[in-house]
Homo-oligomer: A and B are copies of this chain.
């Protein structure tokens, strides 16, 4: 006999940290460190498009916040808090409890408490909107438009596993239980690189997260920075589980595979030691994979320095038809 208000209260109200007014008023209130700006990002996730209907709700709660924290990471912003909108096709309390558990656990790990929200009923699909807030001193945000000719291009972590897990679950690749087991965590439990983003303030010239895949996301940096780049395919940090893929699958996973939530960033060659130290301090891996140059265009070179002829397309929610 739970009403909407009981429901919100039970799963999504937490004692707000000092200085924050949490769920339960027209607005949530939060303070901002003196002199800093607010960084904010919003994502709208839909069943059947951004996640499978049968996904573990705890993983879904984690990921709904993780993709937004990854945007704060890519700006070098420190998390403050978040708000959540949930449209539910039915009232399923065990599902809600698990979703809330996954969400709150990641929120606690990153000091990003849930401070407001909106729960409603949907006619068909589950929809989840998350908006996160963080703070960054003026001029220190890692933007997309700061890449300079001569910069190294770096990526954090490993690439490709999420793409393979997605295609296995979607039936595009033939069933392979051990490959799925080795890649599924990357798809369902991405770890936003918040500490790395903070450590790269003052070092990186530009940064983005790899939500849409390396070629597409690096392309955003290059377009905003009016620059070009080359990548060295053999240097890309491949997830070890991908060793058995054929060449087409591997290119698709490493260059086109989205849903990664690692960072791609550029930094001057003179700051290579500083990048490595920042990565180490953040507990992250950073790999140098290419260079920015002044001339427009993005090429990917094979081991002999020859451009790859066929590159995978990026993901587009509204592909041209």
Contact partner, A46, options B29, B30, B120, Cβ 8 Å: B120
B71 touches A143 (CB 8 A): no
- In the assembled complex, A42 has its CB within 8 A of some CB on chain B: yes
Nearest CB in chain B: distance from A293 CB, A: 22
CB A298 to nearest CB in B, in angstroms, measures 16
Task: A208 to B25: give the CA distance in the assembly, Å.
Answer: 8
29 contacting pairs across A/B (C-beta < 8 A): A1-B320, A2-B318, A3-B316, A3-B318, A24-B224, A25-B143, A25-B224, A26-B70, A26-B71, A26-B74, A27-B40, A27-B72, A27-B77, A29-B37, A29-B141, A30-B37, A34-B34, A38-B38, A38-B133, A40-B83, A40-B116, A42-B84, A42-B118, A44-B86, A46-B87, A50-B120, A120-B317, A123-B124, A131-B131
Residue among A2, A39, A72, A209 with most chain B CB within 10 A: A39
- Chain B residues with Cβ below 8 Å from A207 are 26
Can you tell how many copies of this chain the complex includes?
2
Q: How many residues of chain A get a CB closer than 8 Å to chain B's CBs?
A: 74
What is the minimal beta-carbon distance from A48 to any residue of chain B, in angstroms?
5
Choose one: B26, B37, B138; the contact of A144 (CB below 8 Å). Answer: B26
